[in-house]
Each structure stands twice: as C-alpha cells, then as structure tokens.
Amino acid sequence: MALLKIGIVEDELVIARTILSALGELGYAHCGPAINYTEAVEMIENDKPDLVLLDIRLSGRKDGFDVAEKLNESHRIPFIFLTANSDVETIDRAKKVKPHAYIVKPFTKEELYAAIEIAFNNFIGKNAGEKTEKAALQHTRDFMFVKDGYAFRKIFFAELLYLESEANYVLLHLTSQKKVMIRSTINDFMEQLGPDRFIRIHRRFSINSQFIEDIFPNELSVRGVKLPIGKSYRDGLLNTLGIRQS
C-alpha cells in the first residue's frame, strides 16, 4: 500500500519542523509546509496530499478556516486542525467547516498518529458508504439525467447502446442513432449505471449487454456496429455473460 502523503499548512517554522520530523518517524510522506492561504492552495492542487494538517492562524489575511472552506468546496481531502487555540469561539467556528479531527498543541507523536489514521479511515469509509448508497439509488431507476448543451436530458438506460470515451468526455450512442456528449470520464460515468447491464470491453468502450449480437475473438457487434474487445477485458466480458471458454 502506498504511503499516505500528508500536507502541512503551518506558518511557525519551528512547529513545522517538529511536524515533519514526527511524520517521518511515523512513516508518512509529506509536502509543504505552506505558510499562508495562497501557498496552501497551490500545495494542495500541485502536490495532491491525501490529508492536510492545518493550522488555524496563518500569515496573511486569510486563515485556516478559509483553507478549510476551500477544501470543502473544491477538493475531497480530509483535514485536521492542528492549533494552539481551544477556546469556545474557535471551536464553534471549527465545527462549521467540519474538520476530520482537532488537535491542540502541544501534541505527542502518538496523538498525531492516532488522529491521522482515524480521520483518514473514517473519511474513506464515509465516501465508500456514500458511493454505495448513491449507486443503490441509481440502480433502482431506469433512467438518468445528463447535461446536453444548456438543458438536462432524460436518458433511459434502455436507450443506451454503448459509451465511447473521448479524453475527459463520454459520447453516449443511443438506439435512436443520436449521440450525446457529456463531460465525464468513462469510469465516473459507469458508476451511475447498473453493473449487470453495462460492461466495459475496452479502455474506450462500454456496452449495453442487451444489445450484443455477436462476439468474435477481438471484437463484438452491437446493432451492426463493430467494437473492439481489449485483451484485458475479454475474460471479464465472457464471465459476466456466462460464456465458458473451451
């Protein structure tokens, strides 16, 4: 398993060095320290830490609460407030931005380890639960809405012949022979579809299994359209369809 990368946002360099030393002893990778809001945002966007240790008081006009709001708005990264402030007003403000843990300085290496591990595992568990719940909700429906130009278009799953990946877009090929392009990766889009109906057959293609007509060694046909079967996807395709290979 890859090491967790911990981002550090701390404007007191002595404390930042202490944190770096503790993280090194605990076996974590790290990035930073950032000492103000601008540096913190740049670090988060460029270095992509798995978790952020965030001081509340920072150099400059914006503080740790502003960084926390940015994380909540634009990034799905857990963060831990690591601060000398434990007064009621500060804690009330902290509750509004929902940190994944709150450590009061001075702290021990053991306290830091416990906070990081619990915060990160709770974050991962919560996200997995949300994805499962969202997927369950989606799979009880037979349609979805996708943005088509300035409107949201209702697409029934039974209308979808196959999906074609185009970089950061997915082209939806419909039974009506119309095509709808949406901004998404094919992996993200497939999370919204029933896994028993849509099968990945290639890094660029996913098909509605109801419309498969013929399967050949390196391709298959869907409503007369020939699509390639990637070598790494062939066994999964056949297993999903219950086809035994002789």
Please count the structural domains in the chain.
2
Under the banding of pLDDT at 50, 70 and 90, the label for residue 139 is very low
Judgement on whether residues 124 and 149 belong to the same structural domain of the protein = no
Asked if residue 186 and residue 126 are part of one domain, the reply reads no
Look at residue 20 and tell me if it is in a domain.
yes
pTM (2 d.p.): 0.53
CB atoms within 10 A of CB 29: 14
In this prediction, what percent of the chain has a pLDDT beyond 70? 89
Q: Is residue 199 part of a domain?
A: yes
Q: What is the mean pLDDT of residues 186-192?
A: 80
Specify whether 79 is located in the same domain as 58. yes
The pLDDT of residue 136 is 46
- Average pLDDT in the 4-16 region? 93
**pLDDT over 70 at 83, yes or no:** yes
Residues 219 and 123 reside in one and the same domain = no
CATH code at position 88: 3.40.50.2300
In a domain, 205, yes or no: yes
Q: Is the domain of 101 the same as that of 131?
A: yes
pLDDT of residue 7: 96
Range of the domain at 57: 5-136
Residues 63 and 128 in one domain: yes
Residues 6+ apart with CB under 8 A from 50: 4, 5, 6, 77, 78, 120
Tens-place pLDDT, residues 140-177 = 467 777 777 667 778 888 899 999 998 778 999 999 99
